[in-house]
Amino acid sequence: MTTLEHRPNTALLVVDVQNGVVEDAHQRDAVVSNIGELVRRARRDGVPVVWVQHSSEDLAKGSDEWQIVPELAPGSTEPLVEKTYGDSFEDTALESVLSELEVGRLIVVGAQTDACIRSTLHGAIVRGYDATLVSDAHTTQDQTQWGAPPPDQVIAHTNLYWTYQTAPGRTAGTVSTKDVGFSDAP
């Protein structure tokens, strides 16, 4: 269980599912569809959905590339956290948003696996959160020209090592979209 006191709630954290981030991502449509299913289920179950949106030189705030993909839309009352670093907690309002919602457990989805997803997962667990990665609801672009493994291997490796991630008093792990239980312990 989380090491954060008085944080009994779970939230779905949707990281950087933006036009310019997932445009050429591995299995983009299937991943976006899985995220959409999780968003619908979270809303149905009264679980907060927290959106994260990245900006940088290549992803200018307000540009078409910066927008959340058209298949997904944050609800009018759902928090949207803007960030400029890989870790969604770094220099953002995410911690205060989660504190206000009494969230101690995160279900993490989005992009990119080998950048913002990994950074956010590690950022969450070191800050005391339980952090579960949805194994078929995160993706990345092909970075092989820079020496990275192919995207399917990056995703598989991240799923593998996050399945066995541990920290004192906190839980981690992976689960598939169909097996996500928002009220269950991971």
> Nearest 5°: CA angle at 99, between 54 and 87?
30
Residues 26, 152 contacting (CB under 8 angstroms): yes
Domain-embedded: residue 147: yes
Note the pLDDT tens digit of each residue in 8-41.
999 999 999 999 999 999 999 999 999 999 999 9
Q: What sign has the CA pseudo-torsion 179, 125, 152, 115?
A: positive
Which of the 8 DSSP states describes residue 179? Answer: G
Spell out the residues 6+ positions from residue 61 whose beta carbon is closer than 8 angstroms to its own: 55, 82
Domain-embedded: residue 119: yes
Residue 148 lies in domain: 9-179
pTM of the model: 0.97
The 3-class secondary structure across 119-157, one letter per residue, is HHHHHHHHCCCEEEEEEEEEECCCCHHHCCCCHHHHHHH
In what helix (H) or strand (E) does residue 42 lie, and over which residues does it extend?
A: helix 28-44
Domain-embedded: residue 27: yes
DSSP annotation string for 13-28: EEE--BHHHHTT-TTH
Beta bridge partners of 12: 49, 107
Q: What does the alpha-carbon distance between residue 47 and residue 68 come to, in Å, rounded to a whole number?
A: 20
Domain-embedded: residue 28: yes
Domain-embedded: residue 4: no
1 — pLDDT class (breaks 50, 70, 90): confident
**Residue 59 confidence (pLDDT):** 96
**Residue 2 confidence (pLDDT):** 87
**Residue 182 confidence (pLDDT):** 84
Q: How many domains does the chain have?
A: 1
Q: What CATH number should be reported for the domain holding residue 41?
A: 3.40.50.850
Note the pLDDT tens digit of each residue in 84-138.
999 999 999 999 999 999 999 999 999 999 999 999 999 999 999 999 999 999 9
Residues 172, 166 contacting (CB under 8 angstroms): yes
Note the pLDDT tens digit of each residue in 44-68.
999 999 999 999 999 999 999 999 9
Domain-embedded: residue 74: yes
| Token digits of residue 32 | 């976006």
In what helix (H) or strand (E) does residue 106 lie, and over which residues does it extend?
A: strand 103-111
Domain-embedded: residue 185: no
Domain-embedded: residue 23: yes
Q: What does the alpha-carbon distance between residue 17 and residue 128 come to, in Å, rounded to a whole number?
A: 25
**Residue 186 confidence (pLDDT):** 45
